[in-house]
């Protein structure tokens, strides 16, 4: 059985999903302020590696823990939920089936406690 990563075309596809995802995020006033001082090219590359790994690809993610990265941001459930919604929309936009979207979002959901209220 292939991983989600392999099934949908590997890092090349994940990169397109991430680009589309950030287009949605940056146009959403609920969450776009968290990225005002972010190097988005670097962020997109970093996120592509993280999501690739989370979806069964190679571990190229060298970033800090989720808790450390989000410290000081005081993210609330409304922010987390907006990000999840945009990720769902981006995955659907690229033809990922509902079952696989559910699996991917379950992995993201598992990070909720490491990200909120930091």
CATH of the domain at 99: 1.10.490.10
Burial class (CB in 10 A: 0-12, 13-18, 19+), 7: middle
List, for residues 7-17, the tens digit of each pLDDT value: 999 999 999 99
List, for residues 66-93, the tens digit of each pLDDT value: 899 999 999 999 999 999 999 999 999 9
Give the chain's largest Cα–Cα span: 41
Q: Scan for tokens 């609920």, then name that residue.
A: 30
Interatomic CA distance for residues 51 and 74, integer angstroms: 22
List, for residues 41-73, the tens digit of each pLDDT value: 999 998 998 888 878 888 887 778 889 999 999
Domains: count for the chain: 1
Asked if 67 and 118 count as a contact pair (C-beta separation under 8 A), the reply is: yes
Helix/strand number for the chain, H first, E second: 7, 0
Domain that holds residue 99: 4-115
72: phi > 0 → left, psi -120 to 50 → alpha, else beta; which?
Answer: left
């Amino acid at each position: 059985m292939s991983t989600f990563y392999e099934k949908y075309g590997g890092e090349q596809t994940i990169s397109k999903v991430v680009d589309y995802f950030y287009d949605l995020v940056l146009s959403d006033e609920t969450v776009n302020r968290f990225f005002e001082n972010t190097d988005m090219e670097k962020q997109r590359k970093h996120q592509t590696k993280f999501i690739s790994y989370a979806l069964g690809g190679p571990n190229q993610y060298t970033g800090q823990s989720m808790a450390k990265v989000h410290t000081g941001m005081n993210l609330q459930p409304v922010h987390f939920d907006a990000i999840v919604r945009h990720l769902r929309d981006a995955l659907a936009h690229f033809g990922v089936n509902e079952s696989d979207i559910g699996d991917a979002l379950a992995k993201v959901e598992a990070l909720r406690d490491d990200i909120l209220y930091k």
